[in-house]
Chains A and B, each alone.
Chain A
Amino acid sequence: MYIGDFKEAYASDQAVFVNTTSRFWLGVLFVLLLIFPFVAGDYFLFMANLAGIAIIGAVGLNILTGFAGQISLGHAAFIGVGGYTAAILATRFNLPFLLCLPLSGFMAAFFGIIVGGPSLRLKGLYLCIATLAAQLILEFVFVHWESVTGGIRGINVSSPEIFGFVLDNDFKFYFLTLVMVIICVTAARNLFRTRVGRAFIAIRDRDISAELMGINLMQYKLYAFGISSFFAGISGCLWVNFLKTVTPEHFPLMESVRYLAMIIVGGMGSILGSIFGAIFMTIVPEMIKTILGLLVNIFPTAMSFLFPLQQVIFGLLIVGFLIFEPHGLAEIWYRIKNYFHLWPFDH
């Protein structure tokens, strides 16, 4: 508990980590993240990479949906665009990984703006339906444009190489993922300290009066859409390079729903929530798999329920959190933190 937390300059008052204590714990977290790969087993290393890649995608979606209030059902498709771009640039054009990465982002952003652009003039509902159409159209393209995407077989890529280091196992890849997560999370958090982020929130809360305050709705919705798709593209590039392959079945509508679940469960309009949600929704499918695996002894066909059970649980999580805890895990976290800040006092 701390009392008497005075700030003497506006800069320190507006900082993200306002006092020494939180900066200390941030440092501890960083050290733990660095030590993690050395002590974790293969399985957890694999999961950590997946979670990190999901965090980047979730932060992107949260910027568009949680902060700017525009629902997107096409996030998985844009991740796919990033993934395919990365694969094609690496295998067809032999571009170095560090070039593929931002290009994947830009390609996804480009697609995002094309598809969403015209609908941005309208209310968010129409954008939502347009993103659904984009998702389905892109799914079709992934499967049928065989000359470019390799169709159902997809494309295989080799391990990425950065400055001579070949990231050929999960351990090495972890550090790339960690760096990218830190960059993306920081950039996103920065955005909301500026007028761009504020404009997004204004558009979500009351778009008409936002316009009368001088915000060009079309421009800022395009920004939100572009940034969100860019993050999706980055996430896709990392994913494809991690799994060393890209196929159409990685980017179905259900995956877009899983990303929506991430930000709903984690907390819409919260960067921290995106992190919680991404980790949570990466672990949940694994937990279901594990539980079903244990049940196989009693019910031999248990594993066939994996896919539908995932769908039921995703749906229940979405509905449950929206009804009971609309601000997600992030809110629960803040409640716990506040309790300890004020302890032993009640309020």
Chain B
Amino acid sequence: MDIFLQLIVSGFLVGGIYALIALGFVLIYKATNIINFATGEFMMIGAYIFYSLMVYLKLSPFIGVPLVIICAALLGVLVERLILRHMLGQPNISIIMVTIGLSSILLGVAEVIWGSEFRSFPPLFPRKPIIIGEIVLRSNLFYGFLLALVVVAVFMLLFKYAKIGVAMRATANDQMAAFSMGINVKTMFTISWAFGAIAASLGGIIIANIGGVQPTLGHIGLKIFPIVILGGLDSIIGAVVGGFIVGIVENLAGGYLDPIFHGGVKDLAPFVVLILILLIKPYGLFGTKEIERL
């Protein structure tokens, strides 16, 4: 019973962090209808930039984090301007494949710059593990979760109340209408990509703080697909709930099944879940079914 509870709680915490990364995906999808396969790579690049700032420039995290936010925003803007702008009006499958190509580029560039070895993060949080009753939680998981929660909350508030958030939601809902209301749709696209990159990068920092950073960190980014399919591609709440569920499921699967299969089940479990969801409820828990016009 102890192990069960332990797995659930730590799964919940890591799920919260996944939710932040999934948010990075949903923000872009909601505003631009583009599936960003490079979300994981945004996450990885954010982690590496932060690592470099901390280790090579010996900056404090309080300067490092804002700098990463700026760099991430820049990355998002560059990607949108240089690549996605040219793909306006192209069929959906082409745009999806562009982001697949993008993920490949970012993965390769990261390895060229930083090499392929694993690097562990300098500690950001106090090292003492957090103990709740019988459950022991690693501090970087616990504090990382709190941080992720804060960022997600900020984004959600931004979306609901800030002018820019409302403008982005309007653009996501109906581009033409937003356009005629004086919203600069192109700018909204760029901003969405910036926000998406920021969310993913912050998630990347938090994850890398727990498990270290290497170019294949981006593969964790692939987990967002089970999350957003489970939650619904265009739902922010879905990303959060989906994140929690996937975090818990993978922890349970890893805890109980890894010993049988000699490892690897933990990373696989979300994708088995994905296939099951596609069978049962493909639009996810909170997603909206598109009504097609003829």
Contact = CB atoms under 8 A, between A and B. Distances in A.
Interface string B261-289: 11011011001101100110010000000
B96 interface: yes
Given A122-B282, A128-B96, A319-B98, A311 B108 contact: yes
A150 to B, nearest CB: 15
Interface in A221-273: 254, 257, 260-261, 264
Interface in A191-227: 208-209
Given A129-B225, A144-B264, A318-B104, A308 B98 contact: no
A283 interface: no
B137 interface: no
11 contacts: A118-B275, A129-B278, A133-B226, A133-B271, A137-B271, A308-B112, A311-B111, A312-B105, A312-B112, A314-B104, A323-B86
Closest 10 CB pairs of A and B: A318-B101, A315-B104, A311-B108, A312-B108, A315-B105, A308-B111, A133-B271, A319-B101, A308-B108, A315-B101
Interface in A119-145: 119, 121-126, 128-130, 132-134, 136-137, 140, 143-144
Interface in A294-329: 304-305, 307-319, 322-323, 326
A90 interface: no
Interface string B151-166: 0000000000000000
Interface of A: 65, 69, 71, 73, 115, 118-119, 121-126, 128-130, 132-134, 136-137, 140, 143-144, 208-209, 254, 257, 260-261, 264, 304-305, 307-319, 322-323, 326
B180 interface: no
B183 interface: no
Nearest to A132: B225
A322 B93 contact: no
A316 B268 contact: no
Given A129-B274, A136-B222, A144-B262, 17 more contacts: A71-B96, A118-B275, A126-B278, A130-B275, A133-B272, A133-B275, A144-B261, A254-B104, A308-B107, A308-B109, A308-B112, A310-B108, A315-B103, A318-B98, A319-B83, A319-B98, A322-B98
Contact of A136 (B87, B105, B268): B268
Interface in B157-197: none
B120 interface: no
Contact of B292 (A125, A208, A304, A308): A208
B23 interface: no
Contact of B105 (A69, A73, A311): A311
A316 B282 contact: no
Contacts of B261: 144
Most A CB within 10 A of own CB, among B93, B100, B111, B279:
B100
Interface string B15-59: 000000000000000000001000000000000000000000000
B87 A322 contact: yes
A115 B275 contact: yes
Contacts of A209: 294
Contacts of B86: 323
Nearest to B280: A118
A323 B83 contact: yes
Contacts of A315: 101-108
A137 B109 contact: no
Nearest to A307: B111
Contacts of A134: 275
A311 B112 CA distance: 10
Contacts of B103: 315
B60 interface: no
A318 B83 contact: no
Contact of B108 (A65, A309, A322, A323): A309
- Chain B interface category by residue count: 35 or more
A208 to B, nearest CB: 6
B294 A140 contact: no
B279 A133 contact: no
Given A69-B93, A122-B278, A130-B275, A208 B294 contact: yes
Interface in B82-124: 83, 86-87, 90-94, 96-98, 100-112, 115-116
Contacts of B267: 136
B108 A136 contact: no
B100 A129 contact: no
Nearest to B233: A125
A140 B105 contact: no
Contacts of A319: 83, 98, 101-102, 105
Contacts of A140: 264-265, 268
Contacts of B93: 65, 69, 71, 124
B111 A316 contact: no
B97 A137 contact: no
A307 B104 CA distance: 11
Nearest to A320: B101
Contacts of B83: 319, 323
B13 interface: no
Contacts of A316: 101, 105
A124 B290 CA distance: 14
Contacts of A318: 97-98, 100-101, 104
Most A CB within 10 A of own CB, among B35, B105, B109, B265:
B105
A326 B105 contact: no
A201 to B, nearest CB: 13
Contacts of A128: 35, 96
A24 B279 CA distance: 52
B208 interface: no
Interface in B232-268: 261-262, 264-265, 267-268
Contacts of B97: 71, 260, 264, 318, 322
